[in-house]
Chains A and B, each alone.
Chain A
Amino acid sequence: KAGVTQTPRYLIKTRGQQVTLSCSPISGHRSVSWYQQTPGQGLQFLFEYFSETQRNKGNFPGRFSGRQFSNSRSEMNVSTLELGDSALYLCASSPFAGVGVGETQYFGPGTRLLVL
């Protein structure tokens, strides 16, 4: 079974631009979560989508948004990029919502975003 895939793997943007990252979950998985990883803040939860609905949201500004399609693929968008948005963006999928009850999240390889 194919793992979680993320595209693109690397991205360079300039301040003020916007960017869209894509995540395809493991086949059959309906929950997709996004995380941001930076050296200073570590791994931080962005949001989770399940059945095309945002189920959870982390403490990020409204510039960060996402959506999920009927095939469970998800995209996240960052508008008006800032230097501090440079990070590794990780997507994770699980069969259902509710990791704490035993459904493990499986991560993709991530998208490295550099904002100049």
Chain B
Amino acid sequence: AQKITQTQPGMFVQEKEAVTLDCTYDTSDQSYGLFWYKQPSSGEMIFLIYQGSYDEQNATEGRYSLNFQKARKSANLVISASQLGDSAMYFCAMSPGANSKLTFGKGITLSVRP
């Protein structure tokens, strides 16, 4: 079974600063995928970034990067140059290889201050 842990209840960041959202995971699978999604108050889940368990380099997508530390089983999301529109819930999720079932963490609320 897979488990995702997001323990930060809420985060605040000043506009234009960087912020790190923590995610740890637990799985016995050798092949798996890690994902981050953003959920604004409207409810839609917006895909941000993906990291495969065999990827040696950390994934990056624009202002988003994933700090993947396999031995520590952590997959932290780094948002650089925060914008007011980044205020939302952020979910870390994982899926075992060849399986579409996503297991989500509880989420972290990020508030960006002007």
- Chain A residues within 8 Å of B, Cβ to Cβ: 31, 33, 35, 42-43, 45, 48, 50, 55-56, 58, 88, 90, 92, 94, 97-110, 112
Which of B63-71, B74-82, B89-97 faces chain A?
A: B89-97
Interface pair B99/A92, CB less than 8 Å apart: no
Interface pair B50/A104, CB less than 8 Å apart: yes
Q: Using known A-B contacts A45-B103, A110-B43, determine if residue A100 contacts B97 with beta carbons closer than 8 Å.
A: yes
Q: Which residues of chain B are near A102, meaning CB under 8 Å?
A: 33, 50, 52
Q: Which residues of chain A are near B37, meaning CB under 8 Å?
A: 107
With A43-B91, A56-B101 known, 17 other A-B pairs at CB within 8 A are A31-B100, A33-B102, A35-B102, A56-B100, A58-B101, A88-B43, A97-B98, A98-B99, A99-B101, A99-B102, A100-B33, A100-B95, A100-B98, A102-B33, A102-B50, A104-B47, A109-B43
Interface pair B100/A110, CB less than 8 Å apart: no
Which residue on A lies nearest to B2, using beta carbons? Answer: A100
* Interface size of B in residues (CB-CB distance below 8 Å): 30
Which residue on B lies nearest to A110, using beta carbons? Answer: B43
* Interface residues of chain A: helix, strand, loop or mixed (majority): strand
Question: Closest approach, in angstroms, between the C-beta of A41 and any C-beta of chain B?
Answer: 10
Which residue of B35, B50, B102 contacts A45 across the interface (Cβ within 8 Å)?
B102
Minimum-distance CB pairs A-B, first 10:
A107-B45, A43-B104, A100-B97, A100-B33, A100-B95, A98-B98, A99-B95, A99-B100, A109-B44, A110-B43
Q: Which residues of chain A are near B35, meaning CB under 8 Å?
A: 99, 104-105
Question: Closest approach, in angstroms, between the C-beta of A56 and any C-beta of chain B?
Answer: 5
Interface pair B100/A105, CB less than 8 Å apart: yes
**Mask for B21-35, Cβ within 8 A of A = 1, else 0?**
000000001011101
